[in-house]
Chain A
Amino acid sequence: MIHSALPQFSMPLLMGNSLNAWSDALAGFSPAGLPVGLLIIAAIPLVFIALYALTYGVYGERKISAFMQDRLGPMEVGKWGILQTLADILKLLQKEDIVPTSADKFLFVIGPGVLFVGSFLAFAVLPFSPAFIGANLNVGLFFAIGIVSLEVVGILAAGWGSNNKWSLYGAVRSVAQIVSYEIPAAIALLCGAMMAGTLDMQQITIQQSGPLGFAHFFLFQSPIAWLPFLIYFIASLAEVNRAPFDIPEAESELVAGYFTEYSGMKFAVIFLAEYGSMFMVSAIISIVFLGGWNSPLPNIGPLALNDMTTGPVWGAFWIISKGFFFIFIQMWLRWTLPRLRVDQLMYLCWKVLTPFAFVSFVLTAIWEIYVP
């Protein structure tokens, strides 16, 4: 560790190592042989996910949209309205849980659940830091791509079970959209997997570590990596039904799409799943192309910024920051762009993104084989 060589740098730069020391100490905390400390460390990312998705994703969306629209956004509940989402959740919890009389009750009830599971299962394979990954599968990326498809089942169940024509339209559109966009998304991710030579999410991240920080990220490792990066970003917007591809819920056309009939906590669960998915795709794109939990700061001569900002806790900080950055872009796009039409959406997928995904796949393969 280099920090001992630089005693003149005080708190800010040494934070990294003191944080590491702190987390190491916590991990070793095991009274009566129980790994309490480890459990606490493991729980941090999960608590973060719940907190984030429940409150600050929604709060951030409202504040960011307000900022873009010359408004203040929520200001009443708590300072700057930071407790607004908690108030909303309390309100939703008190609401009557309505199941329409003519709805297919079974499908109507399991729809949001399946959606939620599909969205949150992928978190299991996301490496949140060098020390934390829920399930270190050797096919983690494959699992993440596959489990997202489960959302389609939830959406279709919700849309069909509602027995509402608008919901049905939303569900049918959504299935067509998600199934189509999985193809360019998966091919774009395969480019990253090819560069890493593995589907293991933790390994993909480790391969992007290095003293030069961001220069080791796959996005900057090959001259064509920006193409799959962009393709995956666009396709991921469609996969999580965000604008400009929010046609399954298109509020001006389909009222609210597949969740028109939902209210109360079921509605909240659908919302939660949407924000969970937003973070999930943001995390996947940062893991595959932007180094995941690796610090983007390079070591410059004696200033070993990279070493100082690497470690379990710093890792979580970096991946969450990168995820938030992409979520911000998603929100930015949502509040700027109009919505595409159904046929234009399919055109973009099959005639633009998919061919370019194949091109980038071949080019990446050539690059990986012929350029060491």
Chain B
Amino acid sequence: MAGQGSLRLSRKSDDVVVLEKDLSTEQMVLSMGPQHPSTHGVLRLECLTDGEIITEAEPYLGYLHRCFEKHCEHVDYPAIVPYTDRMDYLAGINSEMAYCVAVEKLLDVEIPRRVEFIRVIVSELNRIASHLVAIGTYAIDLGAFTPFLFCFRDREHILNMLEWATGARMLYNYIWVGGLAYDVPAGFNERVLEFVNYFRPKALELQQLLTENEIFVKRTKGVGIMPADVAINYGWSGPMLRGSGVQWDLRRNDPYSIYPELDFAVPVPDGKLSVVGDCLSRHLVRALEIEESLKIIEQCIDKMPGTEGFNPRAAVPKRVRPKAGEVYGRAENPRGELGFYIQSDGKSTSPLRCKARSSCFVNLSAMKDLSRGQLIPDLVAIIGSLDIVLGEVDR
């Protein structure tokens, strides 16, 4: 750490010259991760630090690389769905949704309306669960432990419901190309409504405990500011981009499924509580989106068609063999735009090429810029606000 110290001459007066020795400091390389509590998985940051200040942070990826895209070229279209679950494992259903939207676009199939409603309900439930993890772990990053457990307590209810509907807690394989694995169980809608009513006051409690906390605001306000134009240039999407004040939500701007029929707001920070583009804005966007998701769920349950003559697998093709061509389908994930670019040669039952555009990966690309000149605690706050899932970054 301590270097030799540099010598320098300083002139006290005309004939007195003093030889001074500085206590010089060297920069220290600090390897943060891949096993670090707040890198949210196996991200590794090689930081060049000057005391507590980070002069440069270089993210290293690939510790969780599983060759998703190569696998896709060797399995059938429907068999890729479980792989997408394992990308963003906190929002498996949303990933399935994005993939199925892309393949269905390529196949050009008509989806039963009830299937669309169920898809939206489960994916919004999963979005809430995912945002709860994001908020809870963000609280832990800033040293508050209790909100994390409050979030996980409520997430548990969602996971129980999803388990009831899909048979799994994290890796669902529920949304199939052209339909669903199963219809929702009888009484599912009532239980979802019960949860919505239970959860509203809990969300308020969480807000009072965390978002209105003086120390929390001090730690996040004005930290890691990302201007809107830079965010767009980086290709940011989702709550990250909305945190910078850009009202961009694929459910609105490039609608898929039944989202055009639903009434919900796209929250962006107004700059009153937070500085637009800082960590607090991104946190607020997530907190507000939970409320919007609850609204969507209520509307879906209200408008959902009945079960008469309903077969969730009615439109599921026996063998998926799309015409030769290519498609880019995308959906709004809790972490931003998850897109699948799929190329079909028209003969094979597996894609010629399947490229996933991962929101976390794109959002993480700004890490180097955001971390320059920050303190170590702020770096932790910034990584937390990016809300990355390494399963999706590395794929």
Contact = CB atoms under 8 A, between A and B. Distances in A.
Given A337-B213, A341-B377, A250 B146 contact: no
A71 B143 contact: no
A341 B146 contact: no
Interface in B214-241: 215-216, 218-219
- In this complex, the member of B145, B149, B218, B378 whose beta carbon has the largest number of chain A beta carbons within 10 angstroms is B145
B216 A338 contact: yes
A244 B215 contact: yes
A343 interface: yes
B140 interface: yes
Contacts of B377: 247, 250, 253, 339, 341-342
A343 B375 CA distance: 9
Interface residues of A, number: 28
Q: Is the interface of A mostly helix, strand, loop or mixed?
A: loop
B146 A339 contact: no
Interface stretch (A62-70, A146-154, A179-187): A62-70
A68 to B, nearest CB: 6
Interface string A239-279: 00001101100111111000000000000000000000000
B142 A339 contact: yes
Contact of A338 (B36, B38, B149, B215): B215
A259 to B, nearest CB: 14
Contacts of A342: 52, 375, 377
A340 interface: yes
A312 B144 CA distance: 41
B149 A339 contact: no
B50 to A, nearest CB: 13
A338 B150 contact: no
Contact of B149 (A71, A243, A246, A341): A71
B153 interface: yes
Given A252-B37, A253-B38, A338 B380 contact: no
Size category of the binding interface on chain B: 20 to 34
A169 interface: yes
B139 interface: yes
B149 A69 contact: yes
A337 B144 contact: yes
Interface string B138-179: 011111111001100100000000000000000000000000
B327 interface: no
A336 interface: yes
B75 to A, nearest CB: 39
A344 interface: yes
B61 interface: no
A169 to B, nearest CB: 7
B204 interface: no
Given A338-B213, A341-B375, A341-B377, A252 B141 contact: yes
22 contacts: A65-B146, A68-B146, A169-B376, A247-B377, A251-B37, A252-B143, A252-B380, A253-B380, A255-B36, A255-B37, A337-B143, A337-B144, A337-B213, A338-B210, A338-B213, A338-B215, A338-B216, A338-B219, A341-B218, A341-B378, A342-B375, A342-B377
Interface of A: 65, 68-71, 165, 168-169, 243-244, 246-247, 250-255, 335-344
Interface of B: 1, 28, 30, 36-38, 52, 139-146, 149-150, 153, 209-210, 213, 215-216, 218-219, 375-378, 380
Given A165-B28, A253-B377, A338-B144, 5 more contacts: A70-B149, A165-B30, A168-B1, A252-B142, A338-B139
